[in-house]
Amino acid sequence: MLPLLTRIDHVGIACRDLAKTIELYRDTFGLRVITVESNEEQGVREAMLAVGPGAAGPGLAEPGLPGPGGGYVQLLEPLTPDTPVGKFLARRGEGIHHIGYGVTDITQAMSAISEAGIRLIDERPRHGSMGASIAFLHPADLGGVLTELVQFVTVTPPPQNGREEDLTGCIGWRTGKGQPPHARESSLPVTG
């Protein structure tokens, strides 16, 4: 059997104050902030900080994004208390919230993992950071680890009208419930 998980894409970390936590990671580790986005469907405002060799990878337009062996730290601040990250903070406090793994074909990976008896939280892929397709797997079936599948697609810069205020000097855009303004090729396995 070929491995379904092709790389560690990101480690998701729940925090109460995104701006302060970005500063902590930048100042302590010198990490580069790639994006800051709000994702209303997921109830988060989040930042992706690149960790790794910094080479352009397949499907990544911009040199400086992680290539093979690289990944991200994803810092997550809840938009409201009644969201997954808001509830997590109330129950457990700040800390590691989930791990995101790269997959080549998210729809195929979801069905294979479901057939293996692991509960899917999402019945279909959702919109994730930087336009990726994402789907979550239930922590209760995976030893208490909330697990996310990530299928990366070609990155195109967000249009001007999708930009958020520039918190950190990095690219920022808003991810709403429908197609994000920067959504690309219609082959993306995401609906509404």
Residues near ligand KFV (CB under 6 A) are 12, 39, 42, 44, 46, 74, 76, 84-85, 87-88, 91, 97-98, 100, 121, 128-129, 132, 134, 136, 139, 144, 146, 148
- Between the alpha carbon of residue 44 and those of residues 37, 66, 134, the distances in Å are 8, 23, 14
Residue (60 or 99) nearer to Co ion, CB: 99
Residue (159 or 177) nearer to Co ion, CB: 177
- The least distance separating ligand KFV from the CB of residue 192, rounded to whole angstroms, comes to 16
Residue (15 or 148) nearer to ligand KFV, CB: 148
Q: Is 43 in the site for Co ion (CB under 5 A)?
A: no
Query: CB under 8 Å to 24, separation ≥6 — which residues?
Result: none
SS3 3: coil
Residues contributing to the site for Co ion (CB under 5 A):
12, 74, 100, 148
